[in-house]
Every structure is written in C-alpha cells, then in structure tokens.
Structure 1
Amino acid sequence: MRQESSASRHLAFLFVSAFLAIGNFAALMSVVPLWAAHGGAGSGGVGATTGVTLGATVLTQLTMPWLFRLLTLRRMLAVGAFVLALATPAYALTDALVPVLAVSAVRGAGFACVVVAGVALAAEIAPPGRVATSAGMFGVAAGLPNVLLLPAGVWLAQQWGFTSLFLAAAAVALAAVPLALALPETGGHATRRTFGHSHLDRRPLAAAGVFLTTTATFGTVATFLPVALPASPIPSLALLILSAGAVVTRLVSGAVADRYGSGRLVVPCAVVCGLGAAGLAATMDDGGPALVLAAAVFGLGLGAVQNDSFVVVLQHFGPGRSGAASTIWNIAYDGGMGLGPLVVGFGLALTGYAGVFVALAFALIAAAAAGRMLGGRRMGMAEHTG
C-alpha cells in the first residue's frame, strides 16, 4: 500500500511537470507559424517552423544513447523544461524567418528531452499491471496542454501580443523544473543499458509506422488550419475539440489495453483518423460546424492510436527498457509531426488545403491497411497484458 501511495505521488509530480513543460510547446505550436507569417514568410517557411522544431526533436532523440549516459530520466526532464524556458523569449527579438527557425530548433531539442523522459518515467513509476493505464494518464497530462493551450495560443497572441505570450510560455516551462527534480532517480541504469542490446537496429513496428502517419496529419492540421482561416474562430474551436477527443481516447485506450491486451486499436482507429481527415477536406471551404465535427472524429482516432502504439512498442522492448521504447515511439511521433507540415508547406501551392487533406486521408487508410498486413495477429489479437 505504501509503495502504491508513493508511486501515485511521484506520478502526480510527473504529470504536473509534463503538463507545464509541454504547455510551453503546445501554446506556441500554431503561434510560431503565425509569427513567421507576420515576418513575411511564405507557406514553405511557415511549414518549416514546425518541421525544424520537430526535426531538431528527432535528431536529439537519436542521441539518446549518449544522453542516457549523462542524465537520469528526472534530470533529463528538468533539463528539457529549462531549455524550453530559456529559448522561448528569443522569439520576441525578431520575426525574421532564419532566427525564428534557429530558436525553434533549440526548443525542439528541449522538447525531445521532456517527452522521452516523461513517457519513460510514466512506465518506470507505474504500479505492476498498470503500465498502459499509467501511459494513458501521462497522455492526459501531455494532451491537456493541446486541449487548453494549442487553440488558446492563437487567441492569446491576438489579445496580449506575441511578446507577452512568449514570456508567459517561458515562465510556464520554468515552473516544471523543480517538480521534475522532485521525482525519484528510478530507471536510470536500466534505461541506459537498453541501447547495448541492439534493439534500435530492429525493424520498426507496424504500429509505429501507422502512428507516424497519424501524427503527420495532426502536425499539418495544427500548423495550417489557423493559416487557412485566419479571420475565423473556427480553427481554434476545431483544435480544441480535436485535442479534447484525443485526451479522452488516450485514457480509455490505456484501460482497454491493460484489460484486453495492446495493439487492438491501432489499425481501426487509424481508419477513424482517415475519415476525419477526409471530413476536413470536405468542409475546408465552408469552415463551419461541420469542420469542427471532422476535427473531433480525427482527434478520437488519434488518441487511441497514440496510446495503443506506445504500449505495443514498450512490450516489444520488454521490462527495464522503457527509455528505448520511449525514444522509438517519440521519433515516430515527432518525426511525423514535423514531416507532415514540412512536406505539405512546399506542396500546398499545387493542391490547395482541401487537396492536402484528401491526400492525407488516403495516406492514413493506406497506412492502416499496411499496418494490418505487417502486424498480423499482433496488431489485431495482442496478448493480454494486465
């Protein structure tokens, strides 16, 4: 009982720390593209702000074997939050594209440390038999900033001005540092040993491939929806509903995985994401309530794919290797989030916004089909984990 109470307390510290640090990222995800557009950047430059941020995130995640030798998980979380806090005010110095991209790259490195350490700590601290549920709860803590701050960021920038928002976001990330340092030093050595077992050389799971496609679509929506409809309140509402739906299904899918086994939801919920993307394509010109409904459908699918794919990857690596599992999963997450807007930004002139989402809908359906074939029984009839 005492051990479970201690785990609950540590998980609470972790969730609040993650909420604050990721809040910095979420609040500015749609604001930084607008800041670049304010400085005169075209669609390619606007898309590059997200692409560079998450490209730096992925590059940092690829250095995790080295970083795990230097930092325990809690210190990595604290360092990541501090880097986010330190870099964010530099946006206020100029809206020129090159400096904006440079600051975004630094923030991407900080964000990488936060998400890898945070997800791994959620698995390390979880009570026995509750790993998927703990991952789902971490997903709530990581997803709530998207619910509250991703749509609010654009509105706050309009009300407060960009500079005030940049300073506020920096303060939020800084508040995460002492909470991260209050966490136990659990899992450090086991996580560091992970990379000595050639797990990173294995072929990526079908689940990670499906997940990457869903996050590429999400990154595109978050980056370009406010730009496509700049004078409308609908994008903020759509992002709010999308993020809220993802938070709900992350939590629900964690309970489902602990009870019935992981991997069951990845493929069908990727299809749900595809239907949502098709709905966004069909309603883009209207920009009304139907667009919000399409965003909600996409979000419901996204959250389930997020959590279930992580548990599949975690089980693939096995006990004591949560750091490697978190790294692989986050590379798929952040790689997709950055790659989608980067590719779309340079192809947008050829297709228009509706065409982009039609293409993404087809990509999601194709990824789901490929994931079902490659994953076989593992993706549809996973063993019971609880």
Structure 2
Amino acid sequence: MEQQRLWTRDFVLAFLVNLTMSLTFYLLMTSMAGYAIERFGAADSVAGLASSGFIIGALIARVFAGKYLDFIGRRRMILGALVVFVACAALYVPLTGVWAVIAVRVVHGIAFGAGNTAVMAAVQTIIPPARRAEGTGYFGTSTTLATAVGPFLAVVLAQQLGYAAMFLACAVFSVAGLVMALGLRLPERTPTEEERADRWRLTLTSIMDLGALRIASVMLLTGLAYSIVLAFLATHTAQLGAPDAASAFFILFALVMLAARLLVGRIQDRHGDDVVMYPIFALFTLGLVLIALADSGWMIVVAAVPMGLGFGSLFPSAQAIAVTVTAPHRVGLAIATFFIMLDLGTGLGPVVLGTLVPRLGLSGVYLICAGLVVLAAGVYYLFHGRSRGGRPVTHG
C-alpha cells in the first residue's frame, strides 16, 4: 500500500511551497492598484496595469514553461522562480516610478507562471494515479487558503502598518517557500532525443497539449463567468445598498470551497467524472442566477454556498481530468495549457463582459455568465463526458 500514500513528505512540502507563492500572489493582487495610486498618483488605468501586469507575466511564462519544464528541471524551475520572488518583493519599496513597478510586476508574474506550472506538474507525479482527483483536491486547498488569507492580510498590513510591511510579508513568504523548496525531492524526466531535436521549434502542439485543451476550454468559459464575480460583486452589492455583503460572500465562499475540495476528489476517483462534474456545473449556474436576481444582501451571501460548491470544486476536478487524459511525458504541457485558458478567461472577462454592463446592467451580465457555465457543461459533454462516459483515464 506504500504506493497509495498521499500525504508524503514531498507532497506536504509542495503544498507549503504553493501556499507561500499563492499568498504572495493574492497579497499583491489585492493591493497593488491602491499602492500605485497612493504612492505615485497613478491614473486608474495605469493602476490597473500595476495589478494585472502580474497576470500578463504569468501568461507569458506558461506558454513556454510546459515545453521547457523537463529541459530545465522541475525542482530547478521552482527554485529559480522563488529566487526571483524574493528579489521582486525586495525591489518594490525602493522603486521611485510606477512604470518601474509595473515592469517588476511583469517579471514577478513570469516567475509565478513558471514556478506555479512546475509545482503543479511536479505534484501530479507524486500523487498515486488511483487517488488523482482526491490528491489534486487536497493540494488545491493550498490555493484556497491563500484566497481567503491573502486579501485579508493585504488590507490589515497596508492599513495598519503601511505598504512596506506588506512587501516585507511577501518577502518572508517567498524566503520560506524557497527554504522549503530546497528540501523537495521530485522525480525528474529526461527529454527524449526527438524532443531535444525539436527543442527550439515552437508549434501549437509543442507549447500546448491538445488533449488537455479540450477540458481547458471548459475553464476558459467558466473563468470568464467567475471573473465577473471577482471584478464586480462589490459594485453590485453597493448598488443593492448592502456593501458588507461582498466581504461576507467571499468569506463564506472560501469556507464552502475548502470543505468541497476535501470531499469531491474522493467521490470523483471512486465513481467517475460525470458524477461530480454535472452537479458542479448546476451549482455554479445556480449561484450566478441567485446573484443576478438578488434584491438584498442576504441573497448575495446565500449564493456563496452553491458558488463555493460549484466553482470551488470545478478547478481541482477539471485539473485532474486534464492530467489523466494526458500522457505522462506531457503533464507539464497539460498543466500549462489548463492554466493558460483559465488565466485568459479570468483576465479577459472583466474587459469583454464589462462592456455589456452599461447596456444590460450587472444583473443581466450575471445571467449571461450563467449561460456561459451551461455552455461549458455542453462543451464538457462533447469533449469528455460523451466519449468516455465521464470515466477518468489513468496513465501509468
């Protein structure tokens, strides 16, 4: 039964490394726009770039990280990313111009995209295949914890101690992650001669995995829908005259999401993908409809339950599918493909769907988002549920 152990030393270390990287991500995403305005008097558009520059960098890195992961080495890529994390955290305070901050944000994002892709791919190699969804769900709680704790710390540190203290906290998290990563023992893979010959040839199939792209397209659609919750829920609750409902929503959302991720993966491993995926789509859709129809703050808060069960479970469940439908030597590409599509959806959503707000109102846009999730369910059925009966395919 040794091969079935999940909570091994390296799994725990990878969990903690991902937690430190994710804490840094959410600390800075929550506060960088405000920092750019307060410190440099930046315009709203420039301040937004100070925040989203990180996502731009992460997307750039993910395009190449999957292809070159095995050439560089998984452990080496994680360590290199965390060294850059420490340097970037130390650079924010002395910088004297907002564009210099934006440049560092892009570099920081590149390090995150590379390091996150590497740690996500590495952990899949140490999760027992028979416990793939369960292990992915447990590992995903590291990001869930960061989602809840990071924004809270950002607000407290920035307001009580100043932005310098917040950047110091990011540096401490980054150093802690680097120290723990030094203890990681990860299985490495040697590229084949054919892969070495094509090392510098960039094609669609060399930077993305087409098998994983099918389930990743589901994440593009659901990422578009979820991004509107992130970007506009505070505005929506303010318009309803219940501004505190947004913070209550995200707290309850994080708690429900954490509980769901501890349970859903085990069900998926035992009973197949369809058993969890279709209820996930239904719950996610219900949450968005409740937000769209809400006429009071308490309805928004109630919507956090189906949203947490739905979107909170979707991420690890779909990621487990992306890995199981991919050959072992392309796991890095599969992980990169998965996050590229998710990041594209999350990044483009506020821009693309935000243009509809003046004409449809936020309620109308949330209903469109519910429709996107229904469409995602159809895409899932077409690309996975119909052909495989929702059964995961385990390699190795």
- TM, length-normalised to structure 1: 0.84
Question: Which residue pairs with 1:322 in the alignment?
Answer: 331
Q: Point out the more displaced range, 93-102 or 143-152.
A: 93-102
- Give the alignment partner of residue 292 of structure 2, picking from 281, 295, 305: 281
Question: Which residue pairs with 2:24 in the alignment?
Answer: 24
- Give the secondary-structure state (helix, strand or coil) at the position aligned to 2:273: coil
- Please tell me whether residue 238 in structure 1 is matched to residue 249 in structure 2: yes
In the TM superposition, residue 359 of structure 1 has moved relative to its aligned partner by: 2.9
Question: Which residue pairs with 1:139 in the alignment?
Answer: 140
Q: Is the 8 A contact 2:321 2:392 kept in 1?
A: no
Q: Is the 8 A contact 1:222 1:239 kept in 2?
A: no
RMSD: 3.5
Distance, in Å, in 2 between the alignment partners of 1:100 and 1:349 is: 32
In the TM superposition, residue 183 of structure 1 has moved relative to its aligned partner by: 0.8
Distance, in Å, in 1 between the alignment partners of 2:84 and 2:251 is: 27
Q: Deviation per CA, 1:231-254, whole angstroms, max 9, x where unpaired?
A: 944433322222232232233222
Question: Which residue pairs with 1:202 in the alignment?
Answer: 210
Kindly provide the amino acid, as one letter, of the partner of residue 9 in structure 2. R
- Please tell me whether residue 268 in structure 1 is matched to residue 279 in structure 2: yes
In the TM superposition, residue 217 of structure 1 has moved relative to its aligned partner by: 3.3
Distance, in Å, in 2 between the alignment partners of 1:375 and 1:185 is: 30
Q: Is the 8 A contact 2:71 2:191 kept in 1?
A: no
Structure 1 unaligned blocks of 5 or more: none
Distance, in Å, in 2 between the alignment partners of 1:226 and 1:234 is: 8
In the TM superposition, residue 56 of structure 1 has moved relative to its aligned partner by: 2.0
- Give the secondary-structure state (helix, strand or coil) at the position aligned to 1:16: helix
Question: Which residue pairs with 1:221 in the alignment?
Answer: 229
Question: Which residue pairs with 1:161 in the alignment?
Answer: 162
Question: Which residue pairs with 2:122 in the alignment?
Answer: 121
Between the aligned residues of both structures, percent identity stands at: 26
- TM, length-normalised to structure 2: 0.82
Question: Which residue pairs with 2:58 in the alignment?
Answer: 57
Q: Point out the more displaced range, 10-19 or 121-130.
A: 121-130
Q: Point out the more displaced range, 12-21 or 257-266.
A: 257-266
Matches within 5 A, 1:363-378: 363-378=372-387
- Give the secondary-structure state (helix, strand or coil) at the position aligned to 1:15: helix
Q: Point out the more displaced range, 84-93 or 168-177.
A: 84-93
Matches within 5 A, 1:77-156: 77-92=78-93, 98-156=99-157
Question: Which residue pairs with 1:254 in the alignment?
Answer: 265
- Give the alignment partner of residue 292 of structure 1, picking from 298, 301, 310: 301
Higher gyration radius (CA): 2
Distance, in Å, in 2 between the alignment partners of 1:92 and 1:191 is: 45
Q: Is the 8 A contact 1:72 1:185 kept in 2?
A: no
Summarize the Cα distance change of 1:375–1:335 in structure 2 as closer, same or farther, 3 Å threshold: same
Q: Point out the more displaced range, 353-362 or 332-341.
A: 353-362
- Give the alignment partner of residue 312 of structure 1, picking from 321, 329, 350: 321
Distance, in Å, in 1 between the alignment partners of 2:134 and 2:93 is: 40
In the TM superposition, residue 344 of structure 1 has moved relative to its aligned partner by: 4.6
Q: Deviation per CA, 1:178-231, whole angstroms, max 9, x where unpaired?
A: 211211141332699889794736365442222222223334433444566689
Q: Deviation per CA, 1:49-70, whole angstroms, max 9, x where unpaired?
A: 5543223212211112553255
Q: Point out the more displaced range, 329-338 or 136-145.
A: 329-338
Summarize the Cα distance change of 1:23–1:147 in structure 2 as closer, same or farther, 3 Å threshold: same
Distance, in Å, in 1 between the alignment partners of 2:356 and 2:93 is: 29
Q: Is the 8 A contact 1:187 1:320 kept in 2?
A: no
Structure 2 unaligned blocks of 5 or more: none
Kindly provide the amino acid, as one letter, of the partner of residue 22 in structure 2. I
- Give the secondary-structure state (helix, strand or coil) at the position aligned to 2:190: helix
In the TM superposition, residue 326 of structure 1 has moved relative to its aligned partner by: 1.3
In the TM superposition, residue 24 of structure 1 has moved relative to its aligned partner by: 0.6
- Please tell me whether residue 10 in structure 1 is matched to residue 49 in structure 2: no
Distance, in Å, in 1 between the alignment partners of 2:89 and 2:373 is: 33
Distance, in Å, in 2 between the alignment partners of 1:281 and 1:350 is: 15
How many positions carry a matched residue from both structures? 383
Kindly provide the amino acid, as one letter, of the partner of residue 175 in structure 2. L
Summarize the Cα distance change of 1:360–1:7 in structure 2 as closer, same or farther, 3 Å threshold: closer
